[in-house]
Amino acid sequence: MVPEEERAVSKSRKAKDINVMLVGNPNVGLTTLFNQITGGIAHKSEIGAKEGYAKKHEHINIVELPGQYSLSSYSADDLSNREILLSDFPDVIINVVDTTSIERSLYLTLQLMELEIPMVLALNMMDEVENNEIDIDIIKLSEKLDMPVLPVSASKNRGVHDLLHYAIQVERDKRVPKKLDFCSGHVHNAIHAVLHLVEHHACAVGIPERFAATRLVEGDKKIEEALKLSEADLEIVDHIVEDMEYHMNTDRESAVADMRYDFIEDLTYDVITRPEWSTVEQERSYKIDKILTNKYLAIPIFVGVMGLVFLFTFNLIGERLSQLLGVGIDYLIDLGDAALAGGNASPVLRALLIDGVANGVGAVLSFLPLIAVLFFFLSILEDSGYMSRVAFVMDKLLRKMGLSGQSIVPMLIGFGCSVPAIMATRSLPSKRDRSLTIALIPFMSCSAKLPIYAMFTAAFFTSYKALVLVGVYFTGIIVAVICALIFNRTIYKGPPVPFVMVLPSYRMPATRSVLLRMWENVKGFIKKAFTIIFVATVIIWFLQSFDFGLNLVESSETSILASIGRVAAPVFAPLGFGDWRAATALITGLSAKEAVISTMAVLAAAGPGMSMSAMLSEIFTPLTAYGFLVFTLLYMPCVATLAAVKRELGGWGYALLVVLFQTTVAWIVSFMIFRVGSLFF
Amino acid sequence: MTLDELEIGKRAVIQSVGGEGAIRRRLLDLGLTPYTPVMVRRVAPLGDPIELYVRGYELTLRKSEAKEIEVMSFECSGCGKCYFGMKNRCPGTELANKVEAEHRTHRRRKGEVCGQGTCRRDGSGRGACRVKE
């Protein structure tokens, strides 16, 4: 018999989700573990954290935080993680550790233990540990840290179930890690003195006191503010720290870090024996890097790899699939059209469904394979560890533009989509670096712009297709470089940003996570096609079918849309595409770049017997078509990107600046292309 | 000598990490604390940044940052038995032993003169130096 009271507890427990936080260094397999536990299904994916329910245990909510090295406050990622961890949201922490570089991983563990949250330690990469005959006394480690320590191999799905089991056990017992006395000597005295001083303040604002004290000794301004200490208290803290610094003959930051690592060294000395000084995987990476980061080969290889990715995307795989899908979609549309015609549907409804929605959404959807293939390759490059090498190789070039090698990863992701790219800038250490990178990311041709390029190259440049595509991509990159150089000498003047990055060993990308990432993006694209694009096409169809008196128009020339387009058209006249249809397409492109193409499709369908490419060649010459492509590449980013910019840089002001800046640049560059090009063609 | 002067493949022990602000914090968080052995693995194709091997992992940083890190280089007999960062360090060299000894007795009082006789510390390197001259 279960006592009444306990039953009530277990009932209420069922009602409440248990929030399990996955925390660890970058590249320790957090995402792999998350995918193993949840089956890869995230029900909430925000910047910062990704949440999903554990397979078969819907009340267990798994939260994956972005990788971090410490709980300090110098990068945006670290700060937002810390905020989440300090809130009352987490019930239990699973600290994932790369067992092959355990010292660095345990540094974060020691900080997490101060948070007074139930915690288990997951020793990941156990398969590599076994490969290298690293001997680790797990029971002893568990005793020393006073928490469950579990060997797992996330990639091989070993030990994951036990890990979750222990995490829940620890949560149920509310077993908070004991206060480890990893400090000694003067640091110990300082921390304890500060601890007594700030106990009450910390309690009042809900920050664990031990954590608060250590952070204060380290000189963390954010915690200082959060604790609302009085002037007198602050003075005492300063005095204590000064005293410690005097006796240690070093500064506060160094003293505390040194103390932690000293404790870790003692700990690992007792529990781990490593026969060799670098692992098999590291040796292998070292050999691969002899070629991939070779003095002469590195940059050609990088250019070649990116070239291959785009070749596969546009030519070999993506394009074929796109054509197939396009044929399929057309077939479906014809079927639907016939059914509507047979079913005596009203002509207006039929026009709306077929000419408006089906053509517009269909035109966008047929590019789905291109996007899937592009993301497939980008995920492989990232998961294998090659992106980090690119950062290493390109750092010096990027520094000339006032950026660091780390900025190249978000920029390459920008070729897929600006939104995740802007989110990826969170790992950059300085604010200046982030805002500059974010300003440049939209110049990377995102995959939403692909349908536009594909449509135009098919209509105008059939024989120079590849050349024109490469030309557009490079125009974006060159414009980004020029803007960076200008920024670096004007607004973003200052010392070069630092570049410190851990190079992970090359690892075989897990098929599952690559496919999952691809699926996530494909899903987003489909969703966008049936929401934003759908609504946009309906509105466009309505505007181009009716005039201001709400009468059905004979030709779209007299429609509401034409009037709106004509107002905006003069702006684009100097660029060579002053037609109202071009202007309209550009305006709708603000909702999502694919809308440029869906708008064109709707407008073309309205004309009697006009195909899309026929309409395009009516509006554009090859030269102005190229100018138009460059304009769509460079002008203000879509709404989703702007929202991401606002979220990351905190303010519509900055987003508005981006809008003005990019549109101006787009106008100037297209103008130059048209004027200079007119001299030759 | 500073870290950027260290030759590829040569080993050294960190003495101090200079510089300031976020970058210094990050280096300390990543385990570049005094008495940690490091080795330069390679230099990037364009001559900068450099790749280090420290505490069992690879770290890249720029030469300008490496300049802020004071190191003491030592010859290694190359027995391959040592693992950087852990306490079972290279047993074959005199300097490594000296560093180790210094590490154990003076770690928390580096730079300060502490007569061996007055420093009442246990052999493990833990505990405070209670008697001050």
Question: What is the tens place of the pLDDT at every residue in A362-405?
Answer: 777 777 887 788 888 888 988 898 988 999 998 988 888 888 88
Same domain, yes or no, for A367 and A466?
yes
Q: Is the pLDDT of residue A123 over 90?
A: yes
Residue A156 corresponds to which tokens in the numbers above? 């091989």
Shortest CB distance from A185 goes to which of B21, B82, B128? B128
Q: Is the ipTM reported for this complex over the cut 0.90?
A: no
Contact criterion met (CB < 8 Å) for B51 and A266: no
A476, A327: one domain? yes
**Residue A617 corresponds to which amino acid?**
S
- Whether A573 and A673 map to the same domain: the answer is yes
- Residue that has been written with the tokens 């130059």 in this structure: A672
Q: Which of A134, A89, A81 is nearest to A112 (CA)?
A: A81
- Which of A74, A75, A392 is the closest to B60 by Cβ? A392
Is the residue at A33 inside a domain?
yes
pLDDT tens for each residue of A69-94: 888 766 767 788 888 888 878 899 99
Q: Tell me which of A156, A173, A190 is where a domain ends.
A: A173
- The predicted model gives A485-503 an average pLDDT of 81
Chain B: residue whose CA lies nearest to A393 = B44
Same domain flag for A383 and A341: yes
pLDDT at B92: 40
Among A241, A234, A263, A238, residue whose Cα is nearest residue A114: A263
| Contact between A35 and A62 (Cβ < 8 Å) | no
Is A656 touching B (CB cutoff 8 A)? Answer: no
- Across the range A552-568, mean pLDDT stands at 80
Domain B3-80: top CATH class: mainly beta
Q: Judging by beta carbons within 10 Å of its beta carbon (0-12, 13-18, 19+), is residue A135 exposed, middle or buried?
A: exposed
Site of tokens 């008196």: A549
Q: Which two tokens stand for residue A196?
A: 């007594």
Q: Which residues of A touch B127 (CB under 8 A)?
A: 184-185
Q: Please report residues of B whose CB lies closer than 8 A to that of A181.
A: none
Q: Are A454 and A367 in contact (CB under 8 A)?
A: yes
What's the mean pLDDT in A628-644?
A: 87
Q: Is the model's pLDDT at A664 over the cut of 90?
A: yes
Q: What is the pLDDT of residues A401-431, one digit of tens each?
A: 888 888 888 898 888 888 878 877 877 767 7
Question: With contact defined as beta carbons under 8 Å apart, do B6 and B73 qualify?
Answer: yes
Option in A257, A266, A277 nearest B83 (CB):
A277
For chain B, which residues make up each domain, given as ranges?
A: 3-80
SS3 label, residue A80: helix
Q: How far is CA A178 from CA A143, A149, A437, in A?
A: 11, 14, 42
Residues A415 and A547 in one domain: no
Question: Are residues A41 and A104 both part of a single domain?
Answer: yes
CB-CB contact of A183 with A259 (8 Å): yes
Distance CA A411, CA A407 (A): 6
Q: Which runs of E-coded beta strand occur in A65-201?
A: 92-98, 119-124, 135-136, 149-151
**CB nearest to A253's CB, from B25, B48, B57:** B25
Tell me, yes or no, if B28 comes closer than 8 A to chain A by beta carbon.
yes
CA distance A34 to chain B (A): 24
Tokens 């630092």 belong to A498
pLDDT in tens, B6-22: 888 887 888 888 887 77
Give the pLDDT of residue A630. Answer: 92
Strand partners, B52: B40, B59
CB contact under 8 A, A429 and B45: no
Q: Which residue has the tokens 């303010």?
A: A651
Alpha-carbon gap, residue B128 to B108, rounded angstroms = 8
Q: For chain A, how many residues are written?
A: 681
Phi, psi of A20 (to 5 degrees): -100, 120
B60 interface with A at CB cutoff 8 Å: yes
- Give contacts of B70 with chain A, Cβ < 8 Å: none
Give burial (CB, 10 Å; 0-12/13-18/19+) of A647. Answer: middle
**Among the ranges A343-357, A539-553, B31-45, B88-102, which has the highest mean pLDDT value?**
B31-45
pLDDT exceeds cutoff 80 at A164: yes
Cis peptide, bond prior to residue B49, ω within 30 of zero:
yes
Single residue among A152, A173, A194 that ends a domain in this structure: A173
Amino acid (1-letter code) at residue A365: L
Residue listed under structure tokens 């040569």: B10
Distance CA A101, CA A109 (A): 13
Same domain, A460 and A313: yes
Give A298's contacts in chain B (Cβ within 8 Å): 44-45
Indicate whether A546 and A486 sit together in one domain: no
CATH number of domain containing A126: 3.40.50.300
Separation of alpha carbons A147 and A71, rounded Å: 20
What whole-number distance in Å separates Cα of residue A536 and Cα of residue A363?
Answer: 13
Examine the fold and report which residue of A173, A201, A236 is the final residue of a domain before the chain moves on: A173
CA distance B82 to B91: 7
Q: Which residue has tokens 């997951």?
A: A122
* DSSP H stretches of helix in chain B: 21-29, 63-66, 94-106
Buried b (16+ CB within 10 A) or exposed e, A493-508: eeeebbbbbbbbbbbe
Q: Does any CB of chain B come closer than 8 Å to the CB of residue A555?
A: no
Helix (H) or strand (E) holding B41: strand B37-43
Q: Residue B110 above 50 pLDDT? A: no
Helix (H, G, I), strand (E, B) or coil at B67: coil
Which chain B residues are Cβ-neighbours of A103 within 8 angstroms? 31, 55-56, 85-86
**In a 3-state reduction of DSSP, which class is residue A19?**
strand
Domain count, chain A: 3
Residues of A in contact with B33 (CB under 8 A): 254, 257-258, 261-262
Mind listing the pLDDT tens digit for each residue in B87-97?
A: 344 444 445 55
* Residues A489 and A600 placed together within one structural domain of the fold: no
Residue A188 domain-assigned (yes or no): no
The CA radius of gyration of chain B, in Å to the nearest whole number, is 16
Query: Same structural domain for residues A449 and A319?
Result: yes
Query: The domain containing residue A674 runs over which residues?
Result: 527-680
Q: Which residues of B touch A409 (CB under 8 A)?
A: none
pTM value? Answer: 0.80
| Residue of A184, A261, A273, A295 for testing the chain B interface, max B β-carbons within 10 Å | A261
- The reply to whether B62 touches chain A by the CB within 8 Å rule is yes
* Cα gap A373→A376, rounded to integer Å: 5
Residue B130 pLDDT grade (very low, low, confident, very high; cuts 50, 70, 90): very low
Residues 83-122, chain B: which have Cβ within 8 Å of A?
A: 83-88, 107-112
Residues 298-337 of A with CB under 8 A from B: 298-299
Q: Which whole number is the average pLDDT over B35-58?
A: 88
Torsion angle in degrees (nearest 10) through CA of A303, A305, A309, A314: 50
Q: How many CB pairs under 8 A join A and B?
A: 177
Q: Is residue A606 very low, low, confident or very high in pLDDT (cuts 50, 70, 90)?
A: low
Select the highest-mean-pLDDT range: A58-67, A528-537, B73-82. A58-67
The whole-angstrom distance between residue A242's C-alpha and the CA centroid of its chain comes to 41
